[in-house]
Amino acid sequence: EPTQTTVEPSVDAPKTPAMGEEVVIRLDNVNKWFGHFHVLKDINLDVRRGERVVVCGPSGSGKSTVIRCINRLEEHQQGDIIVNGVTLTNDVKAIEAIRKDVGMVFQSFNLFPHLTVLENLILGPIWVNKTPRKEAVDTAMYYLERVKIPEQASKYPGQLSGGQQQRVAIARSLCMKPSIMLFDEPTSALDPEMIKEVLDVMVELAQEGMTMICVTHEMGFARSVADTVVFMADGQIVEKNSPKELFANPQEERTRQFLSQII
């Protein structure tokens, strides 16, 4: 699973971001099982407002499951997950509140193929947030400019390259005005020449102070924007540190092994 490409984003995020003290995501002793399989083992993680967290680790280590639990695409069985002060339970109102505020971008772009780019972008704002159409269109065009493909607004996803589709997916998330963005290997399905255009958009978001958790093996990205890198293996957080420390001075053998394969 680790990709061999190391793409250095063209812009460096400031290293002293507006990272606040406020904890916006807290995972407190989170455990999860798929049947008998213990997929998440005592996961503890605090993410502060404006913090950029990169999660890496071997395939099957539970990275996707962790971030899917944060917006309740998966249910955990033990421990607490608290997002923006709301504890995740089966309370549908709480789940809706969290999903409104937490955007997610997947490896597969998950755009509606039968809708144009613009229609993909205004769907959530109009139907979920009850935004007036005109305002939803203006917001959609603003974010399409931001991801540098306003000229693609009336095309269908199938007419776009993978990199363009992923940028549409990011814009679609941003149209919901989330305060937290979760990325699950957003560049893994892309051809190498398209990775950078997606990473550049993510770097810009990071520079603006978006709270982000990114599962990625793009270590150039981790180095230039992450405040914290989390290394997972076998359902556990093995090690967590600043990218500088983690890459230069991994404390655990498993971390060392993993890094030697991808850097």
Q: Which does 255 bind (CB under 5 to 8 A by kind): ligand ADP, Mg ion, none?
A: none
Residues 48-77 that bind Mg ion (CB under 5 A): 64
- For position 39 contacting ligand ADP by CB under 6 A, the verdict is yes
Closest separation in Å from C-beta 230 to ligand ADP: 11
Quote the crossing angle between the two packed helices 117-127 and 162-174, to the nearest 10°: 20
> Minimal distance in Å, beta carbon 17 to Mg ion?
26
Contacts of 166 (CB under 8 A, 6+ apart): 105, 109, 186, 187, 189, 190, 194, 198
Asked if 103 and 183 count as a contact pair (C-beta separation under 8 A), the reply is no
Min separation Cβ 56 and Mg ion, Å: 11
61 binds ligand ADP (CB under 6 A): yes
Q: How far is the CB of 115 from Mg ion (least distance, A)?
A: 26
- Residue 34 interacts with which of Mg ion, ligand ADP, none, CB < 5 to 8 Å by class: ligand ADP
The two structure tokens encoding residue 96: 């809706």
Residue 261 interacting with ligand ADP (CB under 6 A): no
Task: Count the helix, strand and coil residues of the chain and give each as a percent rounded to the nearest 5.
Answer: 40, 25, 40
Contact by Cβ (8 Å): 47, 25: yes
Question: Which residues are at the interface with Mg ion (CB under 5 A)?
Answer: 64
